[in-house]
Structure formats: C-alpha cells, structure tokens
Amino acid sequence: MIYSSKLKYIGILFLLMISFSFVFGQRSINKSSKDKFEIEIIKTNNSPITILQVTDLHLGSTDEGKWKKDLITFQRIRKLVEMHNPDMIAITGDLLTVEKPFGSLLASSVVNFFDGLERPWLYVFGNHDPEGGFGRVDIAEVFAVSEWGVLGKHDVENEWKEKYDYVVDIIVNGEKRPAWQIFAFDSGSKKGYKSIKQDQLDWYKKTSEKTAKKYKQPIRAISIFHIPLIEYQYLKDDKSIKLNGKTKEKVYYEEDDGTVYKAFLDVGNIEATFCGHDHYNNYWGTYKGGIILAYGYISGEATNYAWPPGGKLITLPTDGSEIKIENVAPVFDKNDHKY
C-alpha cells in the first residue's frame, strides 16, 4: 500500500515536471552572434505566431504624479498579455523618457517587468531612449542581464563603430528553416542621424543575401523600428489606398528620404514594417510595391491624450497566408486591481 502510494506520488510528480517543461519550454532564445538571435516556439495545428507590439511608453518621467501613470502602463500591458498570450513582445522605441536621474534603476525595473511576462521581448531604440545622460551603451548593458530581452548590434566601418540593429530567426517546432525573420533597426535620435542610414541598409542587404543563400530562397520577414518612413506620409495622402485604424497627426518621418523603403523593395523579403514615434497615428495599409506600413498603438499612460493606451497584435501565419494586424486595448473586470 505504501509502495503503491509512492509510485502514485512519483507519477504525479513526473506529470507535473512534464507539464512545467512544456509551459516554460514553449519559447526559447538563442544568441548565435551579437547581431543574430533565434527564438524557437512550439506551436500546434499550424497555429500562427503572435507578437504584441507596444510603443512609446515614456517611462520614468520626473513630473509630479507620473510614477502612478507608469504603474498603470505596466498594468495595462500585463492585461494585454493575459488576454492575447502573444508568443513575444516587440517594443518599438521611446520605452524610456528623456529625464533619467536614476537611469540604471529605471532600466532595471523595465527588465524586471518584461522578464516577469516570461516570453521574449524585442527592443529597438527610440529617439528619447538614449537621452538624459544614460545612453545606448548604458541601456544595453542593463538589458544584457535580461533572461528574455533581445537587443543586438553589428559593426560598421565609420565613426559609430557599431549600430544597434539585429535580426531574429523565428523557428517553429524545431524546423531547420525559419518561419519568419524580424529585422530590428535603430532609427536614430539626434540631428543628422534621425533615420535608418546606409551603413545599416548595407548590413540588412548582406544579412538577407546570406540567409537567402543558406536556405536557397528568401525568408518571409517583417521589420521594427521607431521613426516612420516617408512612405507612411505617402500612404496617408493616397486616397486610393484603404487604411485601417486612425490618423490624428502628421507623419514625423524626420530625415527619411525613401532610401529605406526602396532597399526593402529591392531585397524583397520585408512584408510589413511596424514603427512608433507619432503617438496619435495607429493606422496601417499596403503601400505601392506590396509592403504593409503599420503604426503601433500608443502604449504609455503618460502619453494618453487621444485614446486609452493599448497595443498592436501582429499575427504571422505559418501556412503561407497573409499577415493579420489588429489594434487592441485591455479590458478589465470588477475583480482587477485599480491604481
């Protein structure tokens, strides 16, 4: 009888261990080089890959009372994750605000929160993130200790020495060939550098060519960055193109001159781009050449002036079908804690 109970206990423990391994083993990150990562995801029944894009959180303002808004921002993002259970999160810049009197503490709190969601979170710099005396190198140093955070860089042959761009291969169910790639770009932060530059496009083309050669064909890809391309303005102005979402302000494409979009068309692997920067645009549409241009959905309570903050749910199919995009906002019930 005692022996039978022990066997039963061991059996239950074994099942719990299997269950634990499956739940926390659904997603894993491998860094193959400083500018390349692999995220492996376990999916069933050809279910799609889902990404929650959040943007322009502007965490850490020293203005009176803003700390409470940051708590609400975290609460709303956590609720979105509970509602949609995305495979990963993409943060498209201006995660942090300009003032950073305690930069390392602020960056550490970000790591603590997003790691607590227990899924990969991809990060690209916005124009405000490196300001306030706590720059790219400082932020990258803190984020490097993250269990789930993804931020890479590559060498360039100019005064910058390196740029914070990287590529992510999304591997589904152990397949050798990636289902998708994500190209993440740092779109700059100061005058003369507020767009994706030629050295970054050279890296993108080289990386894409290497991938196509390895797999004997291009891999379907999307791109994330902060500052929109000039084509976002063209898309908005072209009344013959159907737009989804809302347009409430001008497009601040800064120094972009069309070179980036042309490079994406020439290489031919990018199917959609996702940016931030302009807080009160959340539209998307397919521009000439067939690339979807999509704004994020403002996610920071501190920048809530047009609509309650939320996110963008990006669905990447694994069966060859089209990308799906949706603006999403959290829905709370009476039992949810309110700040």
Structure tokens at 251: 């497009």
pLDDT value at 19 more than 50: no
pLDDT value at 204 more than 50: yes
Question: Residue with structure tokens 């100019």?
Answer: 158
Q: Evaluate whether 46 touches 316 at the Cβ level (below 8 Å).
A: no
| Predicted local distance difference test score (pLDDT) of residue 8 | 35
| Predicted local distance difference test score (pLDDT) of residue 305 | 77
β-bridge partners, 172:
41
**What secondary structure does DSSP assign to 25-69, as a single string?**
TSEEEEEEETTEEEEEE--STTPPEEEEEEB---BT--STTHHHH
Instruction: Please name the amino acid found at residue 102.
Output: F
**Portion of the chain with pLDDT greater than 90, in percent:** 82
List all residues 6 or more positions away from 17 whose beta carbon is below 8 Å from its beta carbon. Answer: none
**What secondary structure does DSSP assign to 233-261, as a single string?**
HHHHH-TTS--BS-B-S----TT--SHHH
pLDDT per residue over 27-84, tens digit each? Answer: 999 999 999 999 999 998 889 999 999 999 999 988 887 889 999 999 999 999 999 9
| Predicted local distance difference test score (pLDDT) of residue 207 | 98
| Predicted local distance difference test score (pLDDT) of residue 22 | 31
Q: CA nearest 275: which of 152, 187, 201, 200?
A: 187
Q: Evaluate whether 53 touches 328 at the Cβ level (below 8 Å).
A: no
pLDDT per residue over 99-125, tens digit each? Answer: 888 899 999 999 999 999 999 999 999
Instruction: Tell me the pLDDT band of 186, cut-offs 50, 70 and 90.
Output: very high
pLDDT value at 237 more than 90: yes
pLDDT value at 12 more than 50: no
Instruction: Tell me the pLDDT band of 260, cut-offs 50, 70 and 90.
Output: very high
Cα separation, 249 vs 246, whole angstroms? 9
| Predicted local distance difference test score (pLDDT) of residue 26 | 83
- The length of the chain in residues reads 339
- What mean pLDDT do residues 217-235 have? 98
Cα separation, 132 vs 129, whole angstroms? 8
- What mean pLDDT do residues 247-273 have? 97
List all residues 6 or more positions away from 180 whose beta carbon is below 8 Å from its beta carbon. Answer: 49, 170, 219, 220, 221, 222, 316
**Portion of the chain with pLDDT greater than 70, in percent:** 93
pLDDT per residue over 284-320, tens digit each? Answer: 999 999 999 999 999 999 887 778 899 999 999 999 9
- What mean pLDDT do residues 206-217 have? 97
Neighbours of 228 (CB within 10 A): 27
| Predicted local distance difference test score (pLDDT) of residue 37 | 98
Instruction: Tell me the pLDDT band of 255, cut-offs 50, 70 and 90.
Output: very high
- In 3-state terms, the chain is what percent helix, strand and coil (to 5)? 30, 25, 45
pLDDT per residue over 302-311, tens digit each? Answer: 887 778 899 9
Specify the pTM. 0.92
Structure tokens at 314: 């990006």
Q: What is the mean pLDDT of the chain?
A: 91
Query: For the chain, which domains are there?
Result: 29-328 (3.60.21.10)
Q: CA nearest 300: which of 292, 291, 310, 290?
A: 310
